[in-house]
C-alpha cells in the first residue's frame, strides 16, 4: 500500500520521457523532409568542431559577459542533473537520498550542486535583467514580439523555479541539515523555516522534491515547443556544419550538367537521358519552400535559440533594412512546423497554398543581404542563414526571373560582354595604356 508513490513516480517518468521521445521523433522526421546533403566527410574536423564549439562553447566568448553567465547555466545544467539520477532511484524504489552512503563524496557532490544552483539562479536573474531592464536591443527586434519574447522568459522562470525548489528541498530536509555537510547554501535558508514543525517541513520537502522532478520533466517536454532545443541540437548541428571556407557557395550539380551540355558542341540535346539520371534532375532550382532546403538547413532552424547575435551583426539589419538572419531561421522553423502538422493531420503533406518564400520570408528581406557572412561567423552553434538566403534567391532568379531591373542589367552585361557593366570585352586591357 506504500507503493502508490513509487507507481505515481513511474507513471510520471514514463509519461515525461515518453512524450519527449515522441516529440523528438517528430523533429527528426521533419528534419528529414529536407534534401540530401553529404556531411559524412572529415569526421575528425567534425568531432573537433563539436567538442570546441558546442561542448567547449568557444564561439560564445566573443561576448564575454553573456559567455560567462551562459557557461555557469550550462555547467549548472549538466552537473546539477547528476542529481536527477538519485532522484529517479529514490522515486522508483522509495529510498531517500540513496547515494548518501558515499559519505564525504556525497557531501561534496551535493555541496557543488548547491553552489551551482545559486550561481545559476544569479545568472538567470541577470539574464532576465538584461532582457527586461537593460533591454539589450537584440532581444527587442521586431521578430521578438509575442511568443518568442515570452518563450525566452518562460525558460528563465523555469530555471529560477527549478533551482529554488532544489535548494528548498535541501533546506527542509531535516536529517540532511542535521548532518550539516553538503549544505553550503541551503543552510542559510534553514532559518526561513525555523517556526515550522517537523511534519510541515517533511511536507514542504516532499512537495519541493516532487515539483522539482515534475518540473524537470515538464521542462524537458517544453523544449519541443520552445527555442531551447539548442541544448540538445547544438551538438549535431556543430558536427554537421559546413566545413568549407565561408565564402564558398555550393555549385548546383544539376546546373553543371546542363551548362556542360550547352558548352559541348558535340552534345545531342535530344539524346535520351542516361539510365538513373532522373533522380538527379531537381524539380526546381533553388528553394521556395522548406522541403527544397537540405536537412542541415532545417536542423539549423530547430537549433536556433534566437539569441540574435547574427541579427545584431548584420549590416543590413543594423542599417534598418527588413532583413534579420534570426528571423530567417525562425520563419524557416515556423513553416517547417506547419508542414509537419499538416503531415500529422493528413498522413502526408497536402498542398496548403503556402510556401516559405513570400508567405514567410519576403523577397525584400533576402535581397537586402550582402552575403558578408557576419551572421554565420557570429552564430555560437554554426547556423548558416546565408545558405538559405542564397537558395531563395536562386529560386527567385532561376525559376521566376524575379530579379530587380538593375540586377537583370548586371547579368545581361555579364552574358553579353563578360563584365557586370556595359563595357566591351575588347577594351579590357585599355588601362595599360591610359
Partner 1 sequence: MNVPTMAEMMAQGKQPEVLFWVGCAGSFDDRAKKITKAFVKILNKANVEFAVLGTEESCSGDPAKRAGNEFLFQMQAMTNIEVLNAYEIKKIVTACPHCFNTLKNEYPQLGGTYEVVHHTELLKSLLDDGRLSIEGGKFKGKKITFHDPCYLGRANEVYEAPRELIQKLDVELVEMKRCKSNGLCCGAGGAQMFKEPEKGDKDINVERTEDAIKVSPNIIATGCPFCNTMITDGVKATNKEEEIEVLDIAELIANAEDL
- Distance in angstroms (rounded) separating the CA atoms of residues 343 and 258: 34
Q: Identify the three-state secondary structure at position 343.
A: helix
Please report how close the Cβ of residue 362 comes to partner 1 at its closest, in angstroms: 10
- Distance in angstroms (rounded) separating the CA atoms of residues 370 and 366: 9
The only residue of 65, 133, 319, 348 in contact with partner 1, by rule CB under 8 A: 319
The only residue of 41, 244, 269, 275 in contact with partner 1, by rule CB under 8 A: 244
Among the residue ranges 29-37, 83-91, 146-154, 385-393, the one whose residues contact partner 1 (CB under 8 A) = 385-393
C-beta of residue 6 within 8 angstroms of C-beta of residue 92: yes
Q: Is 1 exposed, middle or buried (0-12, 13-18, 19+ CB in 10 A)?
A: exposed
Q: Does residue 395 touch partner 1 according to CB under 8 A?
A: yes
The only residue of 191, 320, 347, 353 in contact with partner 1, by rule CB under 8 A: 320
Among the residue ranges 25-33, 149-157, 209-217, 247-255, the one whose residues contact partner 1 (CB under 8 A) = 247-255
- Distance in angstroms (rounded) separating the CA atoms of residues 385 and 300: 8
Query: Which of 273/429 has CB closer to partner 1?
Result: 429
Q: Does residue 318 touch partner 1 according to CB under 8 A?
A: yes
Q: Does residue 149 touch partner 1 according to CB under 8 A?
A: no
- Number of other CB atoms surrounding residue 193 within 10 Å: 16
List the alpha helices (DSSP H) in 180-318: 198-222, 230-239, 253-263, 295-303, 309-313, 315-318
Q: Does residue 210 touch partner 1 according to CB under 8 A?
A: no
Q: Does residue 245 touch partner 1 according to CB under 8 A?
A: yes
- Distance in angstroms (rounded) separating the CA atoms of residues 67 and 61: 5
- Distance in angstroms (rounded) separating the CA atoms of residues 307 and 379: 9
Report CA 187 to chain centroid distance, whole Å: 38
Q: Which of 187, 220, 179, 180 is nearest to 88 (CA)?
A: 220
Please report how close the Cβ of residue 140 comes to partner 1 at its closest, in angstroms: 16
203-207 long-range contacts, Cβ below 8 Å, gap at least 24? 204/168, 204/172, 205/168, 205/169, 205/172, 205/173, 205/174
Among the residue ranges 119-127, 170-178, 256-264, 269-277, the one whose residues contact partner 1 (CB under 8 A) = 256-264
Query: Which of 175/420 has CB closer to partner 1?
Result: 420
Q: Which of 82, 59, 105, 70 is nearest to 377 (CA)?
A: 59
Q: Does residue 343 touch partner 1 according to CB under 8 A?
A: no
Q: Does residue 396 touch partner 1 according to CB under 8 A?
A: yes
Q: Does residue 286 touch partner 1 according to CB under 8 A?
A: yes
Query: Which of 207/413 has CB closer to partner 1?
Result: 413
186: left (phi over 0), alpha (psi -120 to 50) or beta: alpha
The only residue of 252, 334, 337, 359 in contact with partner 1, by rule CB under 8 A: 252
Q: Identify the three-state secondary structure at position 145.
A: coil
Q: Does residue 404 touch partner 1 according to CB under 8 A?
A: yes
Query: Which of 264/348 has CB closer to partner 1?
Result: 264
Please report how close the Cβ of residue 113 comes to partner 1 at its closest, in angstroms: 37
> Total binding residues for partner 1 by CB under 8 A?
69
The only residue of 39, 246, 284, 354 in contact with partner 1, by rule CB under 8 A: 246
371: left (phi over 0), alpha (psi -120 to 50) or beta: left
Among the residue ranges 148-156, 167-175, 332-340, 425-433, the one whose residues contact partner 1 (CB under 8 A) = 425-433
Q: Does residue 268 touch partner 1 according to CB under 8 A?
A: no
Report CA 329 to chain centroid distance, whole Å: 9
The only residue of 43, 95, 346, 371 in contact with partner 1, by rule CB under 8 A: 371
Q: Does residue 247 touch partner 1 according to CB under 8 A?
A: yes
415 Cβ contact list (under 8 Å, min separation 6): none
Contacts to partner 1 by CB under 8 A: 62, 244-249, 251-252, 255-256, 258-260, 262-263, 285-286, 313, 315-316, 318-323, 364, 367-374, 376-377, 390, 392-398, 403-404, 406-407, 409-411, 414-415, 418-421, 423, 425-432, 434
Amino acid at each position: 500500500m506504500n507503493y502508490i508513490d513509487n507507481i505515481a513516480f513511474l507513471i510520471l517518468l514514463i509519461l515525461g520521457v515518453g512524450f519527449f521521445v515522441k516529440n523528438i521523433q517528430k523533429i527528426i522526421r521533419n528534419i528529414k523532409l529536407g534534401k540530401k546533403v553529404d556531411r559524412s566527410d572529415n569526421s575528425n574536423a567534425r568531432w573537433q568542431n563539436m567538442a570546441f564549439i558546442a561542448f567547449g562553447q568557444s564561439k560564445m566568448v566573443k561576448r564575454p559577459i553573456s559567455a560567462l553567465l551562459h557557461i555557469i547555466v550550462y555547467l549548472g545544467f549538466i552537473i546539477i542533473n547528476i542529481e536527477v539520477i538519485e532522484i529517479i532511484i529514490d522515486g522508483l524504489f522509495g529510498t531517500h537520498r540513496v547515494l548518501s552512503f558515499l559519505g564525504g563524496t556525497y557531501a561534496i557532490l551535493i555541496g557543488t550542486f548547491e553552489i551551482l544552483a545559486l550561481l545559476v539562479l544569479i545568472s538567470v536573474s541577470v539574464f532576465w535583467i538584461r532582457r527586461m531592464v537593460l533591454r539589450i536591443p537584440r532581444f527587442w527586434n521586431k521578430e521578438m514580439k509575442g511568443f518568442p519574447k515570452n518563450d525566452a522568459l518562460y525558460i528563465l522562470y523555469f530555471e529560477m523555479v527549478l533551482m529554488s525548489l532544489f535548494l528548498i528541498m535541501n533546506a527542509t530536509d531535516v536529517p540532511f541539515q542535521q548532518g550539516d555537510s553538503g549544505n553550503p547554501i541551503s543552510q542559510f535558508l534553514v532559518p526561513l523555516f525555523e517556526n515550522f514543525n517537523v511534519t510541515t517541513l517533511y511536507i514542504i520537502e516532499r512537495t519541493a522534491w516532487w515539483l522539482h522532478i515534475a518540473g524537470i520533466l515538464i521542462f524537458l517536454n517544453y523544449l519541443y515547443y520552445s527555442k531551447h532545443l539548442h541544448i540538445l541540437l547544438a551538438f549535431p548541428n556543430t558536427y554537421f556544419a559546413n566545413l568549407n571556407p565561408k565564402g564558398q557557395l555550393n555549385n548546383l550539380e544539376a546546373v553543371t550538367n546542363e551548362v556542360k551540355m550547352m558548352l559541348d558542341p558535340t552534345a545531342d540535346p535530344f539524346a535520351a537521358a542516361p539510365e538513373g539520371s532522373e533522380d538527379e534532375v531537381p524539380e526546381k532550382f533553388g528553394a521556395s519552400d522548406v522541403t527544397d532546403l537540405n536537412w542541415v538547413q532545417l536542423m539549423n532552424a530547430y537549433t536556433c535559440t534566437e539569441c540574435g547575435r547574427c541579427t545584431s551583426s548584420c549590416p543590413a539589419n543594423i542599417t534598418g533594412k527588413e532583413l534579420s538572419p534570426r528571423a530567417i531561421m525562425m520563419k524557416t522553423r515556423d513553416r517547417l512546423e506547419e508542414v509537419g502538422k499538416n503531415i500529422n493531420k493528413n498522413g502526408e503533406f497536402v498542398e496548403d497554398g503556402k510556401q516559405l518564400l513570400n508567405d514567410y520570408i519576403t523577397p525584400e528581406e533576402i535581397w537586402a543581404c550582402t552575403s558578408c557572412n557576419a551572421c554565420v561567423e557570429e552564430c555560437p552553434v554554426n547556423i548558416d542563414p546565408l545558405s538559405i538566403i542564397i537558395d531563395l534567391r536562386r529560386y527567385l532568379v532561376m525559376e521566376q526571373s524575379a530579379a530587380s531591373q538593375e540586377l537583370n542589367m548586371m547579368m545581361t552585361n555579364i552574358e553579353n560582354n563578360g563584365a557586370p557593366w556595359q563595357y566591351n570585352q575588347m577594351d579590357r586591357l585599355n588601362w595599360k595604356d591610359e
